[in-house]
Structure 1
Amino acid sequence: MDDRQRYDRATAELEPPFAILDLEAMRANAADLVRRAGGKPIRVASKSIRSRPVLERILAMDGFRGVMAFTLPEALWLAGHGFTDILVAYPTADRHALAALAADAEAARRITVTVDSAAHLDFIEHAVEQATPRAELRLCLDVDAGYVALGGRFRAGALRSPVREPEDAADLAAEIAKRPGLRLVGLLAYEAQIAGVGDAPQGKAAYARAVRLMQARSARELIVRRGLVVNAVRQFAELEFVNGGGTGSIELTVREKAVTEVGAGSGLFHPRLFDFYRRFTGHPAALFALPVVRRPRPDVVTVLGGGYPASGSAGPSRLPQPYLPAGLRYAPDEGAGEVQTPLLGQAAQDLRIGDRVWFRHAKAGELCERFDALHLVEGDKVVETVPTYRGEGRTFL
């Protein structure tokens, strides 16, 4: 029985649109992430999962420890449901959430907030000044891990932190040490230009060579600079963790002695954008099904909905992939539509009204912003249905 038959059989009683998570595929992906991490713990990026019960399943597996959250309200909610060791990996400007954190000693022990400037420290102190009693807040210093060359004329990597050099990090660490009620416990440096950029794009040989050259030089530069940054910061704080990497760079990042843990999330679901790496091959685990509702021509079918583009620089790579049956493609002048999506190709000739087309999202957790539940598939059966964040009434972004 192929995957399409298995998924159709498992969900025969469900009416699309809906989303599934193939548990066997997710477990295989998890095992490969752990193998690549070489014994260092993996902090789970919640933005790539966005389902509390699924996060619990992942953290119960060997090799995974802690959550990398994307907002402070999300972290507070997770802490309230028993999650511990939560790193909010992006700075917050939510005054109410900061005040709630400072007023809750247990949440403050479980949650670490990321900063990258003295302005963040000022904002936090102002937000929590009325909290009584006021708990000590745990902070993580975010360091720019981008690659810069040609005297600054070339840059690769996400535009995140203004803290880049060891002296920058040491200055901010010293500033934190001066402020009562704030304690620096961690350091984060995410090399997006390696972890989030595939080095084997289809049909782009010259571009692939350029990406590999950039990534190799970036890795060499970062292994030295990140180590120097960590040593500089340790003069002012006892760091509990140094986090780096992502799904696309795990086996490279863990080679650095300075790094104590890696972050990952997308690799568990293995969305479309992670097909284009040489170092690993994943198993598509998160899919959504849309029903065929029209047949405009013998080689064209139209499915309901489908306009679920991923975040990032706009383009075809951000659209979901028509996955099963194989051989379907978008109409070039329509793409993925708001309420309907035409699909072309030989495979369309065998589809009838009511049949399903299975899609993969370009990214991982953003799929869960479209659906209120994930149907967990084991073999050819749905063994459980669990809510997404949306299904629990939580939309944090």
Structure 2
Amino acid sequence: MWSRLDAAVAALPDPPATPIAVVDLDAFDANAADLVRRAGGKPVRVASKSIRVPALIARALAHDGFEGVLAYALAEALWLHETGVSNDIVVAYPTVDVSALRRLTASPEAAAAITVMVDDPAHLAVIDDARPGGAVAGGAEIRVALDLDAGLRLGGQHIGPKRSPLFDTADVVALARLVHERDGVRLVGVMTYEGQVAGVQDDVPDQRTRSLLVRRLKQASMAQLEVRRREISEALSQVTGLEFWNGGGSGSVEVTAADPAVTEIAAGSGLLVPGIFDHYASFEPRPAAYFGLRVTRKPTPAMATVHGGGLIASGATGEDRSPVPWAPPGLHLTGLEGAGEVQTPLTGHPAALLRIGDLVWFRHAKSGELFEHVRDVHLVTGEAVTEVVPSYRGCDLAF
């Protein structure tokens, strides 16, 4: 793969500026097929936050077994609908973007294609205030889904993402009834994202004890969540029928798909496989996204410094949020400087062999976030760049 990337970039008529973002389409397509296999017949909804490249979102949707987009912002969902990328979009997070809500309520076509997420009556009030004239009955009917807390409660502790206040069945049903009885909105779905299962490594080298503990917590979490999903599903059936129940993530596809309450799986990181998805017991990682930086300095004969590199991932700060020097293999970030905004020194035996102008390839720690730093994405098949496509940034978009 290292040789393929070098050859693909070397063949370009004009050397692109760094960072050079590259996606290996052979790995991307293989990962898409693997996600469909793991979903066991349930459709996979593309999590756009983990992609952020319109052409790649469309490419995933072209695969059999993928249906619809899980967006991360309403303005993004409106753009994806307007540009024809998808007419089935669920916004994964509640929105208080009044401007975007005004556009949604004013467009029957967009309102029929986009579902917004709520977990609090205040979210419904924001929708009402955004309607033409502020009237509850004004504008299009808005499709609504409920985001439920999918965390594990164990010994008085909550383990999992701090997302929704909706945990107890009674609270879920109360909000469902409020939506059902309210003019201008229609309850169509439910979302449960078990990030403590889908987004946590559980097969880390040299961390056998910790990995075993994580796997046991994952098993306990999914067992508890299956019971909760069944109870909530039965209770909601007394209020209204649902079109979908979204669950999972790239790291929990199989176990989530096995839950009868879940009708579709969300996945995005599994298409590109960033650094934090390397050590999972549930699937074999096949990295597809890389970025290249050129050596600009040799501070010592045994070191090499590349330009840029500080593409740090979101989340709790730690080593696992830093980019991974990938090729030549054996390179390491330094303990004092790490990955810098304008320069990144590298050590390890290959550093002595690198010369000024050479390319060093990195992997970002999280999927999608790489493409906030570049406008162009080079799509590689075999040893050739077959197309250069824009990221959201390249489309002059920032959600």
TM bracket, shorter-chain basis: over 0.9
Q: Of the candidates 1, 4, 7, which is equivalent to residue 6 of structure 1?
A: 4
Q: Which of structure 1's runs of 4+ aligned residues deviate more than 3 A? A: none
Gaps of 5+ in 2: none
CA contact (8 A) 1:102 1:131 kept: no
What is the SS of the residue equivalent to 1:6? helix
CA contact (8 A) 2:78 2:104 kept: yes
Matched residue type, 1:188: M
What is the SS of the residue equivalent to 2:297? strand
Cross-structure match for 1:65: 67
What is the SS of the residue equivalent to 2:299? strand
Aligned length: 392
CA contact (8 A) 1:99 1:131 kept: no
Q: Of the candidates 346, 349, 363, which is equivalent to residue 349 of structure 2?
A: 346
CA contact (8 A) 2:292 2:359 kept: yes
Does 1:101 pair with 2:99? Answer: no
What is the SS of the residue equivalent to 2:232? helix
Does 1:214 pair with 2:212? Answer: no
Does 1:180 pair with 2:183? Answer: yes
CA contact (8 A) 1:44 1:264 kept: yes
Matched residue type, 1:135: A
Query: TM-score w.r.t. structure 1 length?
Result: 0.97
Matched residue type, 1:196: G
What is the SS of the residue equivalent to 1:342? strand
Cross-structure match for 1:311: 314
Q: Of the candidates 154, 160, 165, which is equivalent to residue 162 of structure 1?
A: 165
Matched residue type, 2:222: A
Distance (whole Å) between structure 2 residues aligned to residue 250 and residue 134 of structure 1: 38
CA contact (8 A) 1:305 1:341 kept: yes
Cross-structure match for 1:135: 140
Gaps of 5+ in 1: none
Alignment of 1:289-328 (within 5 A): 289-328=292-331
- How far off is 1:142 after superposition? 0.4
What is the SS of the residue equivalent to 1:296? coil
Cross-structure match for 2:267: 264
Query: TM-score w.r.t. structure 2 length?
Result: 0.97
Cross-structure match for 2:19: 17
Cα deviation, 1:164-209, whole Å, max 9, x if unaligned, reads: 1221111111011111110000000000000001111232222112
Does 1:29 pair with 2:34? Answer: no
How well do the aligned residues superpose, as a CA RMSD in angstroms? 1.1
Cross-structure match for 1:251: 254
CA contact (8 A) 1:115 1:121 kept: yes
Cα deviation, 1:124-158, whole Å, max 9, x if unaligned, reads: 112225279610000000000000111x2x22110
CA contact (8 A) 1:243 1:259 kept: yes
CA contact (8 A) 2:106 2:132 kept: no
Cα deviation, 1:331-388, whole Å, max 9, x if unaligned, reads: 1000000100000000111111100000000001000000101100000000001000
CA contact (8 A) 1:49 1:364 kept: yes
- How far off is 1:61 after superposition? 0.5
Matched residue type, 1:173: A
What is the SS of the residue equivalent to 2:133? coil
What is the SS of the residue equivalent to 1:99? helix
Cross-structure match for 1:56: 58
